[in-house]
Amino acid sequence: MPMLLAIATDNPVILSLTILLTGLVVVFLVLIVLTGIIKLYGNIVYNATNKAKKPKASAKPQAPAAAPAPAAAPAAPAVESVEDGIPGEIIAAIAAAVYCAEGGSVSAIKSIRRSRPASRSAWGMAGVMENTRPF
Amino acid sequence: MEVLQGFLDALQGIWTSSGFIGNDPRNYVMIAIALVLLYLAIKKEFEPLLLLPIAFGMLLVNVFPGITATPSTEMQLVTDYMAAHNGAAGSYPTVILEGLEYYQIPTNGGLLYYLYQGVKLGLYPPLIFLGIGAMTDFGPLIANPKSFLLGAAAQLGIFVTFIGAMALGIFTAQEAGSIAIIGGADGPTAIYVTSILAPHLLGPIAVAAYSYMALVPIIQPPIMKALTTKKERMIVMEQLRPVSKLEKILFPIIVTILISLLLPDAAPLVGMLMLGNLMRESGVVSRISNTAQNELMNIITIFLGVTVGATATGEVFLTPQTIGIIVLGLIAFGFGTAGGVLFGKLMCKLSGGKINPLIGSAGVSAVPMAARVAQKVGQAENPSNFLLMHAMGPNVAGVIGSAVAAGVLISILR
């Protein structure tokens, strides 16, 4: 190594390339090794804690299973009402809401489309909004 | 009459010892620059916690250069000394020059000379890292270890800038290494490397590093937008898994052992960072963890800022080299951002569109500013997208990445 450096420091081009190569390789190597180790022990710890919980949790699965069911129920009619499938009362409610929010400046509502189902519930979204606002 | 003469002599003495006589004209230019930096720190709030002390140190040293004076030895004729002290002999070492006997009387250095020892001996940056470690949550990184790769890719700026600095031909290899580390977007790391490789450039490098860190929200978004498509920027990432306390405790221990063994030159920075983090995550030493993140951190920040600022005298700062450093610093930030985003794109492709390439830009460190920028740029395209926690992974990985890069530069160039 000292030999290499003695040669390298004489020539700026070789030194620059040496630094580029060594730097990128070492930084990547160290962080790749860290990635591997963190993944490995992450899995071990995760599995260990899950195993420890499993015997106790044998009765529990029914409770979490029940929870998604009511959440799915309100979503079911939503699938049917695509664009022209939206019932008249909802269109009336949306029109009233738009009028309230925008005032008289809106002359007509051209289309009503369902937004894509959000990854979070509205309440979850409100919570995230609240917590990330300072940033 | 004698009184009047004494009064005039005293006035003349004060005038000749005042800054108006002794100061170099370049010092006045530096005073103006210090005032501009103070304005930016106070009015525009550009990293004020550091820029304010840095700017004031700069002001102080250019008004009164003696504040950083090194301790020296004054020679006084023994006969003169005894005459001035009613015939009493002094207890100083004597030396005989041309047949005359002199006392060697030591004089103390300036205030900032002593405070600067913490920079010179490489004490302050690792202590700042202790506080940063105690403030950092590595949870997002542990939950998504792939973030490490983005933290590595964003170090590209460092090594590209090294080549740029060497190509300019006005810097030595050690100076080029110190300038390149600006691309790590990590103030303490930049100061640590520079104090070892090129201490005379501390002033300009620290000013460039902290100024660009404050300008991250302006520098990064155009690069991020240029390198990504609208579709990529809109990618919503899966929620991170929860990380257990045990994982968080093991993390600093494993990282310290691995990096310190592989790259001993990075050990002071990474070791202190991880010590601070272990104090935080262990949950059993909340008192010292609080001290590290608050009182200790604040005290060191004051000393570091003022003394680093005080290295920027007119003589050192007003050179073509400083302009080179400012330009190269910008290049370093740009390439770092680009490296992170491009690697993010690669990971996006490989993962089948699960990774938003914007989080790669946070790999330059500049915690937590760069992560906020990724969040903002992502949210501009898709208001319901929250990339902040995903971006914190590469962001904190960038701190470790730049410390490793610092270790590489020190080990090769020292």
- ipTM for the assembly: 0.85
Alpha helices (H) in B181-244, listed in sequence order: 187-197, 202-214, 216-227, 230-233
Give pLDDT, residue B46. Answer: 83
Whether A31 has a pLDDT exceeding 50, the answer reads yes
| Strand partners of residue B95 | B102
Residues 77-106 of B with CB under 8 A from A: none
Give pLDDT, residue A9. Answer: 60
**pLDDT above 90: percentage of residues in chain A:** 16
Give pLDDT, residue A8. Answer: 53
SS3 of residue B97 by DSSP: strand
Q: What does the block give as tokens for A84?
A: 């022209």
Whether A85 has a pLDDT exceeding 80, the answer reads no
Residues of chain B falling short of pLDDT 70: none
Q: pLDDT per residue over B210-235, tens digit each?
A: 888 888 999 999 999 999 999 999 99
Residues 379-408 of B with CB under 8 A from A: 384, 386, 388, 397, 400-401, 404-405, 408
Q: Which residues of chain A are within 8 Å of residue B269 when distances are taken between CB atoms?
A: none
Which of B145, B263, B408 is opposite residue A35, by nearest beta carbon? B145
Query: Are the beta carbons of A35 and B141 separated by less than 8 Å?
Result: no
**B154 closest CA partner among B333, B336, B329:** B336
Q: Which residues of chain B are within 8 Å of residue A41 when distances are taken between CB atoms?
A: 247, 250, 254
Contacts A–B by Cβ distance under 8 A? 122
Which of B163, B236, B247 is opposite residue A45, by nearest beta carbon? B247
Phi-psi region at B352: left, alpha or beta (left = phi > 0; alpha = psi -120 to 50): left
Give pLDDT, residue B214. Answer: 86
Give pLDDT, residue A118. Answer: 60
Q: pLDDT per residue over A49-79, tens digit each?
A: 777 766 554 444 444 444 444 443 344 343 3
| Strand partners of residue B77 | B102
Which of A13, A46, A125 is opposite residue B384, by nearest beta carbon? A125
Task: Provide the shortest C-alpha distance from residue B170 to chain A (in Å).
Answer: 12
- B266 secondary structure, DSSP code: G
Alpha carbon distance B133, B372 (integer Å): 19
Q: Which residue has the higher pLDDT, A121 or A119?
A: A121
Which of A15, A22, A37 is opposite residue B408, by nearest beta carbon? A22
Alpha carbon distance B194, B191 (integer Å): 5
Q: pLDDT per residue over A3-22, tens digit each?
A: 445 545 668 888 899 999 99
Task: Provide the shortest C-alpha distance from residue A95 to chain B (in Å).
Answer: 23
Residue located via tokens 């979490």: A64
Query: Are the beta carbons of B159 and A23 separated by less than 8 Å?
Result: yes
Give helix then strand counts, H and E, for chain A.
6, 0
Which of A15, A42, A135 is opposite residue B166, by nearest beta carbon? A15
Q: Which residues of A37-52 are buried (b: 16+ CB within 10 A; e: fewer)?
A: bbeebbeebbeeeeee
| Contact predicate B356/B232, CB 8 Å | yes
What pTM does this model have?
Answer: 0.79
Give pLDDT, residue A29. Answer: 93
* A-interface mutation test, from B186, B382, B412, most A Cβ less than 10 A away: B412
Give pLDDT, residue A119. Answer: 65
Give pLDDT, residue A3. Answer: 44
Q: Where would I find the beta strands (DSSP E) of B40-175? A: 72-77, 94-97, 100-107
**pLDDT above 90: percentage of residues in chain B:** 75
* Structure confidence at residue A89 as a pLDDT band (50, 70, 90): confident
* 3-class SS letters over A21-69: HHHHHHHHHHHHHHHHHHHHHHHHHHHHHHHHHHHHHCCCCHHHHHCHH
Give pLDDT, residue A133. Answer: 63
